[in-house]
Structure 1
Amino acid sequence: MRPIDWQQIDTVLLDMDGTLLDLHFDNYFWLEHLPEQYARHKGLNKADALAELSSSFVGLRGTLNWYCLDFWSELTGLPIVELKKDVADKIGFRPYVREFLNTLAQLGKRRVIVTNAHRDSVDLKLQHTGLDQYVDRIISSHDYREPKEQQAFWNHLLQDEPFDRQRTLLIDDSLAVLESAQRWGIHYLLAIHHPDSEREPISQDQFPGIHHFDELIFDSQDAADRDD
Structure 2
Amino acid sequence: MIKVVSFDMDGTLIRKDYVEYVWLEAIPELYARKNGMEIEDAKEYVMNEYLKIGEAAIEWYDIKYWLKKFEIDCDWRELLESHAYMLKLYPEVNEVLENLRGEYELIIISNAAHEFIEVESRVLGLNKKFKHIFSAVTDFGNTKKSSDIYQKICGILGIENEEMVHVGDNYEFDYVAPSKAGIRAFYLDRDGSMGSNGENVVKNLKEFEERVKLLKNK
TM-score normalized with structure 2 length:
0.86
Residue 74 of structure 1: CA displacement? 1.4
Provide the C-alpha distance between the structure 2 equivalents of 1:218 and 1:155, rounded to a whole number of angstroms. 25
In structure 2, do the counterparts of structure 1 residues 216 and 144 end up closer, same or farther at CA, with 3 Å as the change threshold? closer
Instruction: List alignment gaps of at least 5 residues for structure 2.
Output: none
Q: Deviations over 1:114-168 (max 9, x none)?
A: 1111111111112211011111111111111111112332343233223222232
Matched, 1:46 2:43: no
Residue 219 of structure 1: CA displacement? 6.1
- In structure 1, the residue matched to 2:64 is 70
Contact 1:67 1:118 in 2 (8 A): yes
Shifted more, 146-155 versus 171-180: the winner is 146-155
Shifted more, 129-138 versus 21-30: the winner is 21-30
Provide the C-alpha distance between the structure 2 equivalents of 1:63 and 1:10, rounded to a whole number of angstroms. 31
Matches within 5 A, 1:87-166: 87-106=83-102, 108-141=103-136, 142-166=138-162
Which among 202, 210, 217 is matched to residue 210 of structure 1?
202
Tell me which amino acid in the other structure corresponds to 1:212: N
Shifted more, 204-213 versus 134-143: the winner is 204-213
Tell me which amino acid in the other structure corresponds to 1:184: A
Contact 2:13 2:93 in 1 (8 A): yes
Matched, 1:26 2:16: no
Shifted more, 54-63 versus 117-126: the winner is 54-63
> Secondary structure of 1:127's partner?
helix
Provide the C-alpha distance between the structure 2 equivalents of 1:218 and 1:183, rounded to a whole number of angstroms. 23
Instruction: List alignment gaps of at least 5 residues for structure 1.
Output: 1-7, 195-200
Provide the C-alpha distance between the structure 2 equivalents of 1:9 and 1:156, rounded to a whole number of angstroms. 17
In structure 2, do the counterparts of structure 1 residues 88 and 207 end up closer, same or farther at CA, with 3 Å as the change threshold? farther
Q: Deviations over 1:152-197 (max 9, x none)?
A: 32343233223222232111111120211122221x2112222xxx
- In structure 1, the residue matched to 2:5 is 12
Which among 184, 187, 191 is matched to residue 191 of structure 1?
187
Provide the C-alpha distance between the structure 2 equivalents of 1:123 and 1:75, rounded to a whole number of angstroms. 23
Provide the C-alpha distance between the structure 2 equivalents of 1:163 and 1:44, rounded to a whole number of angstroms. 53
Which among 153, 178, 181 is matched to residue 181 of structure 1?
178
Provide the C-alpha distance between the structure 1 equivalents of 2:153 and 2:96, rounded to a whole number of angstroms. 23
In structure 2, do the counterparts of structure 1 residues 81 and 175 end up closer, same or farther at CA, with 3 Å as the change threshold? farther
Provide the C-alpha distance between the structure 2 equivalents of 1:223 and 1:55, rounded to a whole number of angstroms. 43
> Which structure exhibits the higher relative contact order, with contacts defined as CA atoms closer than 8 Å and separated by 6 or more residues?
1
- In structure 2, the residue matched to 1:197 is none
Residue 111 of structure 1: CA displacement? 0.7
- In structure 2, the residue matched to 1:56 is 49
Shifted more, 80-89 versus 215-224: the winner is 215-224
> Secondary structure of 1:139's partner?
strand
Provide the C-alpha distance between the structure 1 equivalents of 2:148 and 2:58, rounded to a whole number of angstroms. 12
What count of residue pairs does the alignment treat as equivalent? 210
TM-score normalized with structure 1 length:
0.82
